[in-house]
């Protein structure tokens, strides 16, 4: 695992965008795994800037998305379809048919989840997976006690996640209780993974993910089992790490640091 600590969210986002751009420059038809939520907003803004100002090309890119709320139609302002369209897709040149977002309104979730997993494999697997982290240590919506071998399925959201995400809705009662989410096992099959986090409220989850035991109670800790994971975090999110000085020492010596 590598850890890059940056002073600001802007710098965190720029580093992440450089990692994505490097992936696309090396493999123009790369498959990206993408997250929603507030964490990757700066990354998406930077990718839009790179597309518009530097010609970063998405015309052959395919994306798979981590999760979606069950019950929200694509046009709902809090649906992850809507989020991705508003914040990324309508500003870049990705073909609509190359975007895969879990359906929150299918009438057969089991079949959909199987198809989604199969589609990832048919597209060659995910080259670069972008993750955020929940305050309860979740990746995607793999809430505490999710199997570390889990695949795409429906999960009940933890009360903490519902409370955290209530800020996007008019009231906490409107936050869906179920989500369809890639599993921890699905995520671990990505070739490379970057996890972004900023803010003091993420510091505990980040420290447990990096320095704690591998446990299904903090599903981000399963990333310790993956051979190519990069945490890109701001100083506040890094503030509970016991070994911060050590990570910064390594970071200074990182060859080809993004």
CA of residue 117 relative to chain centroid, distance: 17
Tokens representing residue 212 in the block? 């704690």
Under the criterion CB under 6 A, does residue 143 sit at the interface with ligand F6R? no
Catalytic residue among 46, 117, 127, 143: 143
* Pick from 198, 199, 217, 212: nearest CA to 241: 212
* DSSP-derived 3-state class of residue 5: strand
Under the criterion CB under 6 A, does residue 138 sit at the interface with ligand F6R? yes
**At closest approach, how far in Å is the CB of 130 from ligand F6R?**
9
DSSP tally for the chain: helices H, then strands E: 8, 10
Under the criterion CB under 6 A, does residue 137 sit at the interface with ligand F6R? no
Query: Going by DSSP bridges, is the β-strand pair 128-131/178-181 parallel, antiparallel, or unpaired?
Result: unpaired
**At closest approach, how far in Å is the CB of 246 from ligand F6R?**
26
Under the criterion CB under 6 A, does residue 67 sit at the interface with ligand F6R? yes
Under the criterion CB under 6 A, does residue 203 sit at the interface with ligand F6R? no
Integer Cα distance of 14 and 46 in angstroms: 6
Q: Which of 13, 14, 36, 203 binds ligand F6R (CB under 6 A)?
A: 36
Residue nearest to ligand F6R (CB): 132
Active-site residue flag, 67: yes
Under the criterion CB under 6 A, does residue 223 sit at the interface with ligand F6R? no
Under the criterion CB under 6 A, does residue 39 sit at the interface with ligand F6R? yes
Catalytic residue among 51, 65, 67, 236: 67
Integer Cα distance of 134 and 182 in angstroms: 15
Alpha-carbon radius of gyration of the chain? 17
Stretch that binds ligand F6R, among 42-50, 129-137, 205-213, 238-246 (CB under 6 A): 129-137
Q: Which of 15, 16, 43, 66 binds ligand F6R (CB under 6 A)?
A: 66
Under the criterion CB under 6 A, does residue 37 sit at the interface with ligand F6R? yes
Integer Cα distance of 189 and 10 in angstroms: 29
DSSP state of 116: H
Integer Cα distance of 139 and 130 in angstroms: 10
Contact footprint for ligand F6R (CB under 6 A): 35-39, 66-67, 132-134, 138-141
Catalytic residue IDs:
67, 136, 138, 143
């Amino acid at each position: 695992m590598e850890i890059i600590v940056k002073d600001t969210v802007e710098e965190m986002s720029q580093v992440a965008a450089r990692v994505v751009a490097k992936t696309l420059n090396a493999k123009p038809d790369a498959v990206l795994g993408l997250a929603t939520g507030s964490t990757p907003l700066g990354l998406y803004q930077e990718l839009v800037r790179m597309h518009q100002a530097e010609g970063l090309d998405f015309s052959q890119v395919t994306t798979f998305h981590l999760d979606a709320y069950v019950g929200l139609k694509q046009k709902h302002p809090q649906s992850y379809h809507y989020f991705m369209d508003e914040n990324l897709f309508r500003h870049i040149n990705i073909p609509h048919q190359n975007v895969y977002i879990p359906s929150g309104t299918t009438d057969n979730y089991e079949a959909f989840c199987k198809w989604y997993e199969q589609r990832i494999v048919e597209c060659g697997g995910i080259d670069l997976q972008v993750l955020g982290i929940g305050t309860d240590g979740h990746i995607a919506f793999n809430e505490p006690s999710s199997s570390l071998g889990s695949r795409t399925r429906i999960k009940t959201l933890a009360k903490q996640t519902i409370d955290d995400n209530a800020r996007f809705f008019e009231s906490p009662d409107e936050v869906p209780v179920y989500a369809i989410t890639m599993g921890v096992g699905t995520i671990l099959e990505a070739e490379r993974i970057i996890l972004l986090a900023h803010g003091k409220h993420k510091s505990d989850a980040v420290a447990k993910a990096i320095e704690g035991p591998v446990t299904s109670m903090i599903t981000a800790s399963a990333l310790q089992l993956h051979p190519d994971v990069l945490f890109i975090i701001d100083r506040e999110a890094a503030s509970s790490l016991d070994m911060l000085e050590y990570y910064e020492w390594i970071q200074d010596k990182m060859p080809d640091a993004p």
